[in-house]
């Protein structure tokens, strides 16, 4: 209505070009686009610098002004980072550094959490979303409470408990928490299960379908996207996790994870910035790949938790 009346006014008084609403809006939008592109470039700069630094020979890193593009280009850093040849110049001690082993360790933790964590969370989420039992609301509040609870108060006692159980320097302290479900996953899956129409269950029950079978054969396949988001989040979280592996597995041990081994690459005795960048790039690459493949789902997932929460 307003736009119609303003265009009617425009027809009467014919303002100068720059005063017209459409032109002003166009200029404004052009500025917004330029600004957004600028911000995007700033945000991408660290990734750009990471990759180009990793592809430069070591001595080209210490130039001022720095080179924007690697010339000459070398894959030496990636080779060293992957094979663990870190100490060639300062070979003072035989130090173990084996990325393939660390990859295996990381994958053990991720797979353990996918199998136990996501499955358990989906079970609990289903109970909270669909099954009726006394105390269910209270149970849901504990999930919300755990969601907002600062984890800081748990690290010391959990460490003490696990060390009393003689589980330090094993993968179990990083997998056992999954047995009980993760609050964020339970919350997310519950919200998602609630959106599935209830008629489906009623008819399945009439046909004699058991609750467990319904959960496994109907509910989970229907919520494939939500479960996939949880799998990805599990992968990303444990791939990037740092504190727990450091506490329970230790730097420089045979159980170290890929991210934790960064500490070894940063060891002043071995530090070569090019190798550090190559190693970091290799750690980010799988996350980047997963992100680009599934970013639609992931962003929907974030929105889903935040808006409904």
Partner 1 sequence: MTVVQQARKPWRLTWHSKRALEGYLFALPWIVGIFAFFLYPMGYAVYISFTDWRVTGISPWVGLGNYTRLFRDPLFFHSLKLTTVYTLISVPLQLVVGFLMAYLLNQKIAGLGVFRTIYYMPSLLSGPAIATVWGWLFNTEFGVVNYILDLLGVPNHSIPWLTSREWILYFYIIMGLWTVGNTVVLYLAGLQGIPSEYYEAADVDGANRFHKLVYVTLPQMSPVIFYTLLTTIVSSFQVFTVAFVVSKGTGSPANGSLFYYLYLYRIGFGGGYLGYAAALAWVLFIILVIISAVLFRASGVLVYYEARREEGGA
Among residue numbers 31 through 90, which ones bind partner 1 (CB under 8 A)? 32-33, 35-36, 39-40, 43-47, 49-50, 53, 61-66
Report d(CA 227, CA 217) in Å as an integer.
13
Does 306 sit near partner 1 (CB under 8 A)? yes
**Can you read off the two tokens belonging to residue 93?**
């001690």
Shortest distance (Å) from residue 283 CB to partner 1: 4
Complex with partner 1: residue 14 or 210, whichever CB lies closer:
210
Shortest distance (Å) from residue 16 CB to partner 1: 21
Does 255 sit near partner 1 (CB under 8 A)? no
Among 115, 243, 289, 293, the residue binding partner 1 under the rule CB under 8 A is: 243
| Contacts to partner 1 from residues 188-207, by CB under 8 A | 194
Does 149 sit near partner 1 (CB under 8 A)? yes
Among 86, 118, 186, 189, the residue binding partner 1 under the rule CB under 8 A is: 186
Report d(CA 283, CA 235) in Å as an integer.
13
Report d(CA 304, CA 301) in Å as an integer.
5
Stated as kind and residue range, the H or E segment containing 42 is helix 21-54
Yes or no: say if 84 and 267 are a contact pair by the CB < 8 Å rule.
Answer: no
Binding-site size for partner 1 (CB under 8 A) equals 96
Does 18 sit near partner 1 (CB under 8 A)? no
Yes or no: say if 196 and 223 are a contact pair by the CB < 8 Å rule.
Answer: yes
Give the count of alpha carbons within 13 A of 214, CB side only.
20
Does 295 sit near partner 1 (CB under 8 A)? yes
**Can you read off the two tokens belonging to residue 265?**
């690459």
Does 284 sit near partner 1 (CB under 8 A)? yes
| Contacts to partner 1 from residues 103-122, by CB under 8 A | 120
**Can you read off the two tokens belonging to residue 287?**
């996350």
The dihedral through the CA atoms of 215, 216, 219, 223 has a sign that is positive
Does 29 sit near partner 1 (CB under 8 A)? yes
Give the count of alpha carbons within 13 A of 308, CB side only.
16
Among 59, 72, 94, 148, the residue binding partner 1 under the rule CB under 8 A is: 148
Does 179 sit near partner 1 (CB under 8 A)? yes
Complex with partner 1: residue 14 or 293, whichever CB lies closer:
293
């Amino acid at each position: 209505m307003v736009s119609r009346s303003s265009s009617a006014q425009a027809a009467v008084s014919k303002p100068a070009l720059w005063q017209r609403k459409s032109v002003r809006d166009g200029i404004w939008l052009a500025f917004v686009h330029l600004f957004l592109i600028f911000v995007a470039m700033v945000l991408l700069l660290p990734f750009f610098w990471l990759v180009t630094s990793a592809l430069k020979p070591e001595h080209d890193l210490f130039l001022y002004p720095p080179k924007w593009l690697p010339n000459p280009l070398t894959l030496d850093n990636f080779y060293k980072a992957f094979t663990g040849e870190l100490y060639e110049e300062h070979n003072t001690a035989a130090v173990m550094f084996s990325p393939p082993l660390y990859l295996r360790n990381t994958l053990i933790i991720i797979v353990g959490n996918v199998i136990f964590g996501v499955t358990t969370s989906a079970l609990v989420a289903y109970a909270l979303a669909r099954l009726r039992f006394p105390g269910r609301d209270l149970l849901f509040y504990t999930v919300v409470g755990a969601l907002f609870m600062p984890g800081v108060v748990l690290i010391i006692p959990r460490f003490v408990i696990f060390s009393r159980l003689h589980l330090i320097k094993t993968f179990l302290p990083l997998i056992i928490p999954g047995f009980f479900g993760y609050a964020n996953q339970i919350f997310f899956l519950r919200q998602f299960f609630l959106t599935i129409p209830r008629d489906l269950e009623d008819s399945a029950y009439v046909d004699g379908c058991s609750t467990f079978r319904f959960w496994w054969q109907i509910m989970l396949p229907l919520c494939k996207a939500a479960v996939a988001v949880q799998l990805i989040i599990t992968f990303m979280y444990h791939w990037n996790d740092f504190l727990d592996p450091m506490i329970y597995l230790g730097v420089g041990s045979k159980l170290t994870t890929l991210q934790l081994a960064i500490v070894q690459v940063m060891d002043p005795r071995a530090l070569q910035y090019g190798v550090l960048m190559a190693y970091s790039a290799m750690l980010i690459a799988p996350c980047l790949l997963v992100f680009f493949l599934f970013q639609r789902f992931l962003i929907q997932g974030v929105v889903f938790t935040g808006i409904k929460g």
